[in-house]
Chains A and B, each alone.
Chain A
Amino acid sequence: MNAPVLQVDSLHIHYQTLAGMVKAVNGVSFNLYKGERLGLVGESGSGKSTTALAIIRMLEGPARIIDGAINLSGTNLLALSDDEMRAVRFDRVSMVPQGAMNSLNPVMRIREQIRDIYEAHGKLPKRSELDGKIAHLLTRVGLKPEVAGMFPHELSGGMKQRVCIAMAIALQPQVILADEPTSALDVVVQRQVMETLGNVQQELGAAVILVGHDMGLMAQFVDRIGVMYAGRLVELASVEQIFKAPQHPYTQQLIGSIPNLEQKKLFKGIPGTAPSLLDPPSGCPFHPRCSEAFEPCTLDVPPLRETAPSCWVACHLYEKVVSHDHPA
Chain B
Amino acid sequence: MTILLEANHAGKTFTTGGFFKRSEAYALRDFSLAIDDEKPIVTAIAGESGSGKTTLARLLLGVIAPSIGTVRYKGVDVHTMKRDQWREFRQDVQAIYQDPFEVYNPFYRVDHVLTTPVAKFKLARNAAEAQELIESTLNKVGLRPEETLGRYPHQLSGGQRQRIMIARALLLRPKIIIADEPVSMVDASLRATILESLLKLHEEFGISLIYITHDLTTAYQLCRDINILYRGAVVETGDVEQVIKQPQHPYTQLLVGSIPLPDPNRRWGDETVDQARRADVPDTGCLFADRCPWLMPACQNAPPPLYQTSPARATACYVYEDEAKATTKSEAEAVLSGEVS
Contact = CB atoms under 8 A, between A and B. Distances in A.
Contact of B192 (A43, A44, A240, A257): A257
Interface string A236-272: 0001100100000000011101111100111111100
Interface string A31-47: 00000000000011000
Interface in B117-175: 157-160
Interface residues on A, range: 35 or more
Interface in B58-78: none
Q: Which of B189, B199, B221 has the most CB of A within 10 A?
A: B189
Contacts of A191: 258, 260, 268, 273
Interface in B201-224: 214, 216-218, 220-221
B73 to A, nearest CB: 31
Given A186-B49, A266-B199, A43 B261 contact: no
Given A261-B217, A264-B221, A273-B157, A219 B264 contact: yes
A257 B214 contact: no
A188 B260 contact: no
A214 B260 CA distance: 9
A107 interface: no
A259 B244 contact: no
A47 to B, nearest CB: 14
Nearest to B275: A192
Nearest to A260: B262
Contacts of A50: none
A22 interface: no
A148 B218 CA distance: 38
Contacts of B244: 261
A109 interface: no
Given A261-B217, A269-B192, A43 B260 contact: no
B273 A192 contact: yes
Contacts of B217: 216, 259-261
Interface string A209-220: 000011111111
Contacts of B189: 43, 253-254, 257, 269-270
- Bin chain B's interface residue count: 35 or more
Contact of A259 (B221, B265, B267): B221
B107 to A, nearest CB: 19
B260 A216 contact: yes
B267 A268 contact: no
B264 A261 contact: no
A266 B254 CA distance: 26
Contacts of A157: 49
A319 interface: no
Contacts of A186: 48-49, 214
A116 interface: no
- The 5 tightest CB contacts between A and B, nearest first, are A269-B193, A216-B260, A186-B48, A269-B192, A191-B258
Interface of B: 48-49, 157-160, 187-194, 196, 199, 214, 216-218, 220-221, 241, 244-245, 254-255, 258-265, 267-268, 272-273, 275
Interface of A: 43-44, 142, 157-158, 186-192, 194-195, 213-221, 239-240, 243, 253-255, 257-261, 264-270, 273-274
25 contacts: A43-B189, A142-B275, A187-B214, A187-B255, A187-B260, A188-B254, A192-B275, A214-B260, A215-B188, A216-B260, A218-B262, A219-B262, A219-B263, A240-B264, A253-B189, A254-B189, A255-B262, A261-B217, A266-B192, A266-B196, A266-B221, A268-B192, A269-B189, A269-B196, A274-B157
